[in-house]
Amino acid sequence: MLIRRPRRSDVKPSEITSESIYRRRREFMKAAGTIAAGSLLAPQWLFSRTLDDLEQLRDLGELKPSPYSTDESPNSFSDITTYNNFYEYGFGKDDPARHAPGLLRVEPWSVEVTGECEKPGTYAFEDLVKPHRLEERIYRFRCVEAWSMVIPWVGIPMVNVLKRFQPTSRARYVEFVTLMDPEQMPAQRRPSLPWPYREGLRIDEAMHPLSIFAVGVYGKEMPAQNGAPIRLVVPWKYGFKSSKSLVKIRFTEEQPLNTWQQITPEEYGFYANVNPEVDHPRWSQARERRVGSFFRQSTQMFNGYREEVAHLYRGMDLRSREYW
């Protein structure tokens, strides 16, 4: 086998302008002109950017590998970007891929930090992410609907980011709020869920080294349909806990009410740890279908992260409704 060692002087593939972008240079100039003119009227649109095309996703550069990554083979980029639950764009698994890229404006983006912390404020996405080294985390992802994937996320440990806000001793939980903007998320025009989507974690769960703020997949920035530009990934919990397109972080003393618990408390709880022994009231959680395979496989306790996270729940009866 011929192994080609890159020389220092070589142009890296990531530096080459892709053909599709090159061909669209006139379009780009036109758009730039329009934006410049438009900015005189509405300055907030100056840097507005959507992710119309998956090929346009920027490369995130060198990533730090992580010992938390699984060696299971990841699902394809196409699986990950065409089979999504993102009800802000509709109920179908293919709705997010069809609608999110052209509508979600990821630039500019900022996250508001409030509640029990010393450094509240509004942080630009860049300022939030820049101080940290991006890591690749290849995690199992298990949906409450009993399907699963393996996803090579790019992200930063949540703990490193949250610590910068200096949560006070009263911060026992963290609430995460997704963007609310029917212009960008058309399904929010219907009251199918009480928008905006809310999720929450106990502070020690949020500070656990497995919890990350993900900003990309497969070494590229986050596709719109996966919750661009920044989302949670909490791999030992059902997927709905890993909420997308984060705009607000709130430190609180009381346990926040997450959206699914709010609409169907008899089916969803706050913790939502992956647990093959506790069934969803309507279906079994003992087995799951890994997207891409026809048959089902056994679901693992805490989605296979038992060793890392079981201590967080010592003394709690995970079968009791209180701790679903």
Partner 1 sequence: MVRGLLLAKIGVFLLCLIPLVIMGSAVVTGAAGPNPVEYLSHETGQWGLRLLLLTLAVSPLRRLTGWAWLIRFRRMLGLFAFFYVCCHFLVFAVFDHSLGLPSILEDIVKRPYILVGTLAFLLLIPLAITSTNSMMRRLGRRWKALHRFSYLIAALAVLHFFMLVKVDTREPLIYAGVLAALLLLRLRPGQWLARRTASRREVQKEA
The reply on whether position 164 binds partner 1 by CB under 8 A is: no
> Which range, of 60-68, 89-97, 170-178, 247-255, touches partner 1 by CB under 8 A?
89-97
The reply on whether position 305 binds partner 1 by CB under 8 A is: no
Structure-block tokens of residue 285: 């959680």
> What CA–CA distance (Å, rounded) separates 102 from 162?
31
The reply on whether position 107 binds partner 1 by CB under 8 A is: no
> Which range, of 9-17, 108-116, 131-139, 286-294, touches partner 1 by CB under 8 A?
286-294
> What CA–CA distance (Å, rounded) separates 230 from 129?
9
Q: Say which residue the tokens 């596709």 belong to.
A: 223
- # binding residues, partner 1 (CB under 8 A): 26
Distances (CA, A) of 59 to 38, 77, 260: 29, 14, 34
Within 10 A of 160 (CB to CB), how many other CB atoms are there?
A: 15
The reply on whether position 282 binds partner 1 by CB under 8 A is: yes
Task: Please identify which residue in 10, 72, 253, 279 interacts with partner 1, judged by CB under 8 A.
Answer: 279
Within 10 A of 196 (CB to CB), how many other CB atoms are there?
A: 18
Minimum distance from residue 84 beta carbon to partner 1 (Å): 10
- Residue 151 burial (C-beta neighbours within 10 Å; 0-12, 13-18, 19+): buried
Minimum distance from residue 188 beta carbon to partner 1 (Å): 14
* CA geometry: angle 134, 136, 139, nearest 5 deg: 135
**Residues in 120-139 that interact with partner 1 by CB under 8 A:** none
The reply on whether position 54 binds partner 1 by CB under 8 A is: no
Nearest one of 200, 210, 323, 220 to 269, comparing CA atoms = 323
Minimum distance from residue 192 beta carbon to partner 1 (Å): 6
H or E segment at 173?
strand 173-178
> What CA–CA distance (Å, rounded) separates 225 from 322?
32
CA dihedral over 228, 232, 233, 238, signed as positive or negative? negative
> Which range, of 47-55, 159-167, 294-302, 314-322, touches partner 1 by CB under 8 A?
294-302
The reply on whether position 82 binds partner 1 by CB under 8 A is: yes
> What CA–CA distance (Å, rounded) separates 31 from 29?
5
> What CA–CA distance (Å, rounded) separates 250 from 291?
34
The contact pattern for partner 1, residues 229-268, with x = CB under 8 A and - = no contact, is: ----------------------------------xx----
Minimum distance from residue 101 beta carbon to partner 1 (Å): 17
Task: Please identify which residue in 296, 306, 310, 313 interacts with partner 1, judged by CB under 8 A.
Answer: 296
The contact pattern for partner 1, residues 178-197, with x = CB under 8 A and - = no contact, is: --------------xx----
> Which range, of 117-125, 269-277, 285-293, 313-321, touches partner 1 by CB under 8 A?
285-293
**CB of 67 or CB of 281, closer to partner 1:** 281
- List contacts with partner 1 (CB under 8 A): 75, 78-79, 82-83, 87, 91, 93-94, 145, 147, 192-193, 263-264, 279, 282-284, 287, 289, 291-292, 294-296
